[in-house]
A and B are shown apart, each in its own frame.
Chain A
Amino acid sequence: MTESSSNGRRNENDETSAAVNRRDPILQFLDKIRPSGDAMEDDNEGEESPTELNAINSAGGFVIVSPDKLSVKYTNANLHGYDVGVAQANKPAPFKCLTYYFEILVKDAGAKGKVAIGFTKEGFIMRRQPGWEVNSCGYHGDDGNIYLGKGTGEAFGPTYTTGDTVGGGINYASQEFFFTKNGALVGKIPKDIKGHLFPTVAVHSQNEEVSVNFGKQKFVFDVKGYETSARNKQQMAIEKIFIPPNIGYGLVKSYLLHYGYEETLNAFNLATKTTVPPILIAQENAIDEDDLHQRKTLRKLVRNGDIDAALANLQDWYPQIVQDDKSVVCFLLHCQRFIEFVRVGKLAEGVKYGRLELAKFVGLTEFQDIIEDCFALLVYPKPVESPVGYFLEDSQRELVADAVNAAILSNKKDACHLHSHLEMLLRQLTVCCLERRSMNGDQGETFRLHHVLKQYKKMKLD
């Protein structure tokens, strides 16, 4: 938005988004304070996985599900194509992960060995082999073919029979089904079915018996290894991409500038200038460096817990920011002042300060819950160990400092950089990954910076 816009429609968009930004550039910091903000990030944990077969919904009369609900047996002498013994898992395959996988062991191939493994949708006709009906897929033991909801199967892999362990899996990243036999990958096939899929087994001749392993026992196939090599393959493709050399330097520099890490920036500038040859960093226009020192000073004060001084300096340097004493920045600073009283055990003074400065925010919906949480600090003899102990962590100060910094930046005439360049790139990366995932029906792993960094640390420390 620094460049002059070339078409009207975009101008309009710019205005609306700018308006959104203008209204709440600092509001986002309130969300960051709320502890629930983080919980959202781990939403793929706690997804339920199949644990057993659904004994109720299986094709009654043809098939017996064992009491532990982990094996099925076909008891009838089969008659026609509508008396297949099918059993689905009790839950659909989880999908917020790279792969899902389960295995069956053919205990007895029975009279004809018409065992099948595959995936079906919730409303599947339980008297038909997986793969015979649309929206289902099955790898069949008698012919080794794969059936994908068409009339006939396609040649796929070897047949399987008594004593064989066969596995079915979904690779959500590549959107493929894959099957294994006795620990070796048989093959993969594109997955064209959307939505929840249930792991499914079928038996269709007398005495056929199959047991299912949903992961309670160790799989015969090395799923972890499969996942690792899938990830490595992707990583290798990524590493091959060319980016301009030294581009990281400019991003780090603008990041430091954006957040007012002045001393780091100076040290960094000095160091890059003295390398041989000096590293050229693209010149930054959007943020001038005039206020850098002031922003740095404010950050330092907040980080040291000296909120009074920070407020006083703000009053001097940026009166417009503290003009509205019900602004988000003011609220955050007053909260922090209160927190600092608690930190040093000056509870009475804290209460006094709270009545004076925080009472005016009571009743304003966006602040109400945070005030309550803040005051909850008074209840606990050891506030640090309490459920609201996060207020006393170092990151809380950093957050308030960031909010002050953001308020100053957004107050400028040409303010458009709510986020640093680095952050914008990371946001773009996250959204691209999310979007691609949503086009796959939200299946597969999400990109999270936190996980990438954690993974890295794990590799190093473990």
Chain B
Amino acid sequence: MPTTTSTSSSFSSAASSSGNRQADVFSRLASSDPEVKLKALREVKNQIIGNRTKKLSFLKLGAVPAIASALSDSECNSILVQSAAALGSFACGFEAGVQAVLDAGVFPLLLRLLTSSDEKVVDAGARSLRMIFQSNQAPKYDFLQEKNMKFLFSLLNSENENVSGLGASIIAHACGTTVQQQVLCDAGVLEKLVILLDGSLSQREACLESLATVLKNNPEAVSRFVGLEAGRYLSSVTELTKDRYPRTRLLSCLCLVVIYNTSPSYFLNMGTKSSLVTTLLELLNDHGQSGDDAALGLSSLIAEKEDLQKLAYEANAIKNIVDILKTGSELHPKRLQGLFLSLAELCSKLEDCRCSFLSLEMLDLLVNALRHKNADVRTAACICFRNAARSVKNLSAGRFTNDHVMLPLVQLLHDPSSSVEVAVLGALSNIVLDFSSPKSTFIEYGGIKQLIELSKSMDPNARCSALRALRNLMFLADNKRKELFYSEVKAQGFVSLISDPEPTVQEQALALLRNLVDGCINSIEFVFDEDGLILDTVGKQLRKSPQAHMAIQGMYVLTNVASGTELHKEAVMQQLFPQPQAESNNFMLKFLQSHESQLRSATVWTIINLISPSSPGAHDRHVKLRDEGIIPQLKNMVNDACLDVKIRIRTVLSQSMSFGDN
């Protein structure tokens, strides 16, 4: 095969000759002859523009510091322009390049170019700086320093569109805190930015991005922006959502999403809302970066807003998104994340959405996404599962309970990313809730063990979610499973969960315990293991005047324990009235006076179980409760605002009557 040989030889020579050429150009960068140097700079620039591979190989050769020194040493405008352009290209869409450029210390050199009298030099400097500021690695810019603010305004005021665009890019990059937003607004930055809205394409885009950063989550800034010339610029931004350039349409949509999420009152107009939704949906079909960003924009727009979710649903959002996911081409992780999050939002509240989503048969795609190499995509897919599984109808149809779905979910419990863990726990809690078969599949895969592991995670969110899942898992579970679970946790484990530093974790731990001791007498015994260590801890926590949410779960634990034998009831009494009484005021009295009706209700339930007439010690316990002022307190509550509490109190008082108490 002579052809093959010649081809392969030419390939290998190609690789080496290109390497040689690069080395050759590189060596000429350091030439003392300005002509040679200029030519080499242009060559490097032309080789790397648009070409990631070349950027990388020149980077490895050390081209960036070489170009940086050309930039700092030369007074020749052409050399300045070429070297700035080359550095800008290294920094364009190439993080390693940004790093190298910053490391080479060119930042002040590029800034210096902005003061040149040659417009081309200014352009080149401003463009390169803009590239750098598009990266997260760019240096933070301290707006609080007066000279910096002055400089920023000199940029924004510039006639040169690259320079004013740079000003806007700096804001978009560096403005993060409310204080910064405030300082910028007070300095009049909004007034400057809106002028750029009428400028060239690149000015407009930079302006929309920086507007979004200045307005984000800052109602004051938004009202200031909307107030400019009686809302003229809000209308301008709205109009730009119909622009002919997709990028402009996207950025103006994102700006509106920020405004909407910050101050929804400016969006009373349903038409604006629905056209925002439809524009974002249309942009999803854009193949480029705009389409990637549109997906996240959409999910942020409809997050926790039922009306917008409905609008999106009516605009056929689910079908659109699923169609894009089904195209089979490789999608950018950002786009996948956004699409799954949007689906998740759509399925968060509306049952119609869940059904239509599940009817499109894309569970396979979702399962694949669970294995995606990008953690954000995995997280989004889990959230999507969690919300879709809120559909009781679909859950009971057993859609999620096969191995195909459960295995990857359980595997994600080992995920290196804690946000994935939290999300998958959310999904699992919903799937394992209330149904027997998924629970067994889950347990088969060692899910319980994994959850217990996670309940010891360093991340409080993960602990909380793990406990929530376990709590669902223990709801109406049979004794076998409870024992399996308890044998893994043990009393000591429970004690540490109940005394977790995070109140939310404590609450979930108590809720889990409440489900664990619910039901048959045997399960109550768990809290008496190791000399009643768990019950003691519960009592201790309740006496520490906990938050209402925690107290509710604690009281239900006691309620459930008090539903047991005489021994159990007495143990509860011990917790309620320990010897010696530390405080003058019993915590039960406080709970009964709580604003939280659920806490009042839980407390009354405990009392009902304690003085249930069928048990022999009921009378004595009643006496104790009366002497401690509990029964008189209940008498004051016969007209409680909460119907449930009112009914329960009547039950207690009728029991009380039977003990001859009036």
Q: Measuring CB to CB, which residues of chain A are less than 8 angstroms from any residue of chain B?
A: 180, 182-184, 218-226, 228, 232, 459, 461-462
10 A-B interface contacts by CB (under 8 A): A183-B271, A184-B271, A184-B314, A220-B271, A221-B270, A222-B269, A222-B270, A232-B242, A461-B198, A462-B198
Segment from B272-280, B330-338, B500-508 that makes contact with A: B272-280
User: Looking at the complex, which one of A183, A226, A232 makes contact with B269 (CB distance below 8 Å)?
Assistant: A183
Known interface pairs A222-B270, A225-B275; 9 further A-B residue pairs with C-beta atoms within 8 A, sorted by A's residue number? A183-B269, A184-B274, A219-B269, A222-B271, A222-B274, A224-B239, A225-B272, A232-B242, A462-B198
Tell me the interface secondary structure of chain B in the complex: helix
What chain B residues lie within 8 Å of A219 (beta carbons)? 269, 271
In whole Å, how far is B519's beta carbon from the nearest beta carbon of chain A? 48
Q: Does B242 lie within 8 Å of A220, measured CB to CB?
A: no
CB closest residue in chain A, given B235:
A224
What chain A residues lie within 8 Å of B269 (beta carbons)? 183, 218-222
Q: Does B271 lie within 8 Å of A228, measured CB to CB?
A: no
CA distance A222 to B274 in the complex (A): 9
User: Looking at the complex, which one of A222, A459, A461, A462 makes contact with B272 (CB distance below 8 Å)?
Assistant: A222
Q: Does B242 lie within 8 Å of A183, measured CB to CB?
A: no
What chain B residues lie within 8 Å of A225 (beta carbons)? 242, 271-272, 275
In whole Å, how far is B258's beta carbon from the nearest beta carbon of chain A? 19
Q: Does A223 lie within 8 Å of B198, measured CB to CB?
A: no
In whole Å, how far is B579's beta carbon from the nearest beta carbon of chain A? 62
User: Per-position contact with A for B252-280: 1 when CB-CB < 8 Å, else 0?
Assistant: 00000000000000001111111100000
Q: Does B198 lie within 8 Å of A182, measured CB to CB?
A: no
Q: Does A220 lie within 8 Å of B198, measured CB to CB?
A: no
Q: Measuring CB to CB, which residues of chain B are less than 8 angstroms from any residue of chain A?
A: 198, 239, 242, 244, 268-275, 311, 314
CA distance A223 to B271 in the complex (A): 8
Q: Across chains A and B, which 3 residue pairs bring their CB atoms closest together, nearest first? A: A183-B270, A222-B271, A225-B275
CA distance A182 to B271 in the complex (A): 8
CA distance A228 to B282 in the complex (A): 15
Q: Does A228 lie within 8 Å of B242, measured CB to CB?
A: yes
What chain A residues lie within 8 Å of B311 (beta carbons)? 184
Contact (A182, B242) CB under 8 Å given A222-B275, A462-B198: no
CB closest residue in chain A, given B244:
A459
CA distance A219 to B198 in the complex (A): 26
Contact (A183, B273) CB under 8 Å given A225-B242, A228-B242: yes
What chain A residues lie within 8 Å of B314 (beta carbons)? 184
CA distance A276 to B73 in the complex (A): 44
CB closest residue in chain A, given B268:
A220
What chain A residues lie within 8 Å of B198 (beta carbons)? 461-462
What chain B residues lie within 8 Å of A218 (beta carbons)? 269
Q: Which of B242, B271, B275 has its CB near the most chain A CB atoms (within 10 A)?
A: B271
CB closest residue in chain B, given A225:
B275
CB closest residue in chain A, given B269:
A220
In whole Å, how far is B198's beta carbon from the nearest beta carbon of chain A? 5
CB closest residue in chain B, given A218:
B269
User: Looking at the complex, which one of B244, B270, B272, B275 makes contact with A182 (CB distance below 8 Å)?
Assistant: B270
CA distance A184 to B314 in the complex (A): 10
What chain B residues lie within 8 Å of A462 (beta carbons)? 198
CA distance A222 to B273 in the complex (A): 9
Q: Does A220 lie within 8 Å of B270, measured CB to CB?
A: yes
CB closest residue in chain B, given A224:
B239
Q: Does B242 lie within 8 Å of A184, measured CB to CB?
A: no
In whole Å, how far is B252's beta carbon from the nearest beta carbon of chain A? 13
CA distance A211 to B136 in the complex (A): 53
Q: Does B242 lie within 8 Å of A221, measured CB to CB?
A: no
User: Looking at the complex, which one of B239, B244, B274 makes contact with A183 (CB distance below 8 Å)?
Assistant: B274
What chain A residues lie within 8 Å of B272 (beta carbons)? 222, 225
What chain A residues lie within 8 Å of B242 (beta carbons)? 225, 228, 232
CA distance A225 to B242 in the complex (A): 8
CB closest residue in chain A, given B197:
A462
What chain B residues lie within 8 Å of A221 (beta carbons)? 269-271
In whole Å, how far is A3's beta carbon from the nearest beta carbon of chain B? 42
In whole Å, how far is B625's beta carbon from the nearest beta carbon of chain A? 51
In whole Å, how far is A233's beta carbon from the nearest beta carbon of chain B? 13
CA distance A232 to B278 in the complex (A): 14
CA distance A148 to B290 in the complex (A): 45
User: Looking at the complex, which one of B239, B244, B268, B270 makes contact with A184 (CB distance below 8 Å)?
Assistant: B270
CB closest residue in chain A, given B275:
A225
CA distance A462 to B197 in the complex (A): 8
What chain B residues lie within 8 Å of A232 (beta carbons)? 242
CA distance A220 to B268 in the complex (A): 7
In whole Å, how far is B241's beta carbon from the nearest beta carbon of chain A? 9
In whole Å, how far is B391's beta carbon from the nearest beta carbon of chain A? 25
CB closest residue in chain B, given A462:
B198
What chain B residues lie within 8 Å of A226 (beta carbons)? 271
Q: Which of A220, A225, A228, A459 has its CB near the most chain B CB atoms (within 10 A)?
A: A225
What chain B residues lie within 8 Å of A459 (beta carbons)? 244
CA distance A224 to B240 in the complex (A): 12
What chain B residues lie within 8 Å of A223 (beta carbons)? 271
CA distance A72 to B271 in the complex (A): 25
What chain B residues lie within 8 Å of A220 (beta carbons)? 268-271
What chain A residues lie within 8 Å of B270 (beta carbons)? 182-184, 220-222
CB closest residue in chain B, given A181:
B270
CA distance A232 to B244 in the complex (A): 10
CA distance A222 to B268 in the complex (A): 11
CB closest residue in chain B, given A180:
B271
In whole Å, how far is A406's beta carbon from the nearest beta carbon of chain B? 38
CB closest residue in chain B, given A232:
B242
In whole Å, how far is B84's beta carbon from the nearest beta carbon of chain A? 29
What chain B residues lie within 8 Å of A222 (beta carbons)? 269-272, 274-275
What chain B residues lie within 8 Å of A224 (beta carbons)? 239
CA distance A223 to B274 in the complex (A): 12
CA distance A222 to B270 in the complex (A): 8
CA distance A437 to B114 in the complex (A): 56
CA distance A13 to B275 in the complex (A): 53
CA distance A220 to B275 in the complex (A): 12
CA distance A182 to B272 in the complex (A): 11
CA distance A184 to B308 in the complex (A): 12
In whole Å, how far is B216's beta carbon from the nearest beta carbon of chain A? 24
In whole Å, how far is A10's beta carbon from the nearest beta carbon of chain B? 45
CA distance A191 to B134 in the complex (A): 53
CA distance A218 to B270 in the complex (A): 11
CA distance A218 to B267 in the complex (A): 11
CA distance A357 to B314 in the complex (A): 75
In whole Å, how far is B456's beta carbon from the nearest beta carbon of chain A? 50
CA distance A228 to B241 in the complex (A): 11
CA distance A240 to B275 in the complex (A): 25
CA distance A183 to B242 in the complex (A): 18
In whole Å, how far is A103's beta carbon from the nearest beta carbon of chain B? 11
CA distance A220 to B311 in the complex (A): 15
CB closest residue in chain B, given A459:
B244
In whole Å, how far is B111's beta carbon from the nearest beta carbon of chain A? 31
In whole Å, how far is A171's beta carbon from the nearest beta carbon of chain B? 15
CA distance A184 to B270 in the complex (A): 7
What chain A residues lie within 8 Å of B271 (beta carbons)? 180, 183-184, 219-223, 225-226
CB closest residue in chain A, given B270:
A183
CA distance A127 to B451 in the complex (A): 72
CA distance A448 to B453 in the complex (A): 74
What chain A residues lie within 8 Å of B268 (beta carbons)? 220
CA distance A432 to B320 in the complex (A): 39
In whole Å, how far is B266's beta carbon from the nearest beta carbon of chain A? 11
CA distance A183 to B272 in the complex (A): 8
Q: Which of A183, A219, A461 has its CB near the most chain B CB atoms (within 10 A)?
A: A183
In whole Å, how far is B539's beta carbon from the nearest beta carbon of chain A? 52
CA distance A18 to B277 in the complex (A): 58
In whole Å, how far is B238's beta carbon from the nearest beta carbon of chain A? 8
In whole Å, how far is A366's beta carbon from the nearest beta carbon of chain B? 46
In whole Å, how far is B279's beta carbon from the nearest beta carbon of chain A? 9
CA distance A223 to B270 in the complex (A): 11
In whole Å, how far is A168's beta carbon from the nearest beta carbon of chain B? 15
CA distance A362 to B271 in the complex (A): 61
CA distance A180 to B242 in the complex (A): 21
In whole Å, how far is B161's beta carbon from the nearest beta carbon of chain A? 13
